[in-house]
Structures are given as C-alpha cells and as structure tokens.
Structure 1
Amino acid sequence: MMRETTLRICEKGHRYYKKTDCNTCPKCEQDEKPIEGFLARLSSPARSALIHEGITTLEQLAQHTEKDILKLHGIGRASIPTMKAALEEKGLSFK
C-alpha cells in the first residue's frame, strides 16, 4: 500500500513533499551536509544515523564494531566500505 504524498513545511519555511513519516527537510539536509571529512562521503540516512548516535569523528566510529553500526537505522551495507576506507586512511579500524 502506497502512502499519499503530503506537502510539508519545515521550521525554516522550506516546502517539500514526502510519503513517509520522516520529517527531515531535504533542503535543510543538503544545506547541513559537511563538505569534508568522512561524514561528507556518506548518504544522508547514514550520516544522520551516526550523528544521532553522537558519532561525528573517525575516532568515535572506531570505538564501535561494524555489527553495531549496521544495527543503526539508516546504515546499510553500502555505507560500510566507505567507513572502512576512511578509518584505514587514519590508521584506524572498527573495534
């Protein structure tokens, strides 16, 4: 069953349409996307999942197992190679 697309307006006044319960404004999300660092390499859902968990640095990411990161809503298998590569570049790895 498909949900109906609804018009939404974020706190900043951006207008956007969504079919899901997610209230994330795509315009705000794009404006807040980092331009450098490992978070900039990730998709919006993966980036949001890590930020929600307080993981904003590679050192913080290295304190978690790959399995634990995969349990987070918004993280998929496609994100893991990107995270591993970023960790390896700094001489780090998943716990």
Structure 2
Amino acid sequence: MYTFNYDPKEHFLHGVIAIPARRALEKEKIDSLEKLSDYSEKEIMQMHGFGKNTMEKLKNHMKENHMFFKEL
C-alpha cells in the first residue's frame, strides 16, 4: 500500500534533518545530495530551519555519502 504512493523526493533527508529544513530545501528544488553539493554552507545556512545542529547533521550525512558543499 505504501509503495503505491511512494515519492523518493518526499523522503529526501527524512530522519536526517527536521521537517522545516527539509521543506526549505524542497522550496529551492533541492531533492538530492548532488543538487545540495552545488550550494555552499553559507547559502544553506541562510535558509529557514537551518542552524548549527542541523548543518552538522547534514554535513555528516553528506560526508558518509562522499558528497561535500561547494567551496567559495
């Protein structure tokens, strides 16, 4: 039943960061780590829902997946 309505974009970073931060990424159409790596930490930190704790969780998740933020 659940697989019928499954949308992988809806579950991007589910369990990694909180809903407000995920919604901010969704609003910017960031739905993959590849797209996320096109941004700098500074750019992401300016979005609603992002603070030091969320950024640390996000950076750790990206590092585990061999992805990194854009360097300025």
Equivalent residue pairs, number:
60
Separation of aligned partners in 1, 2:29 and 2:36: 9
Say which SS state the counterpart of residue 52 (structure 2) adopts.
coil
SS in 2 for 1:91: coil
- Give structure 1 regions of 4+ aligned residues with deviation exceeding 3 angstroms: none
Larger Rg, first or second structure (1 or 2): 1
Which of the residues 13, 18, 21 maps onto 1:43? 18
Please report how far the alpha carbon of residue 73 of structure 1 lies from its aligned counterpart in structure 2 after TM superposition: 1.7
Find the aligned partners of 2:20 and 2:51 in 1 and give their Cα distance: 9
**2:44 counterpart letter in structure 1:** I
Greater share of strand residues, 1 or 2? 1
Q: So what's the TM-score if we normalise by structure 2?
A: 0.74
Shift of 1:91: 1.1
| TM-aligned CA deviation for residue 74 of structure 1 | 2.0
> Are 2:53 and 1:78 equivalent residues in the alignment?
yes
Between Structure 1 and Structure 2, the one with more helix by share is 2
What percentage of residue pairs aligned between the two structures are identical?
A: 35
Asked whether 1:88 is paired with 2:70, we answer: no
Structure 1: where are the runs of 5+ without partners?
1-32
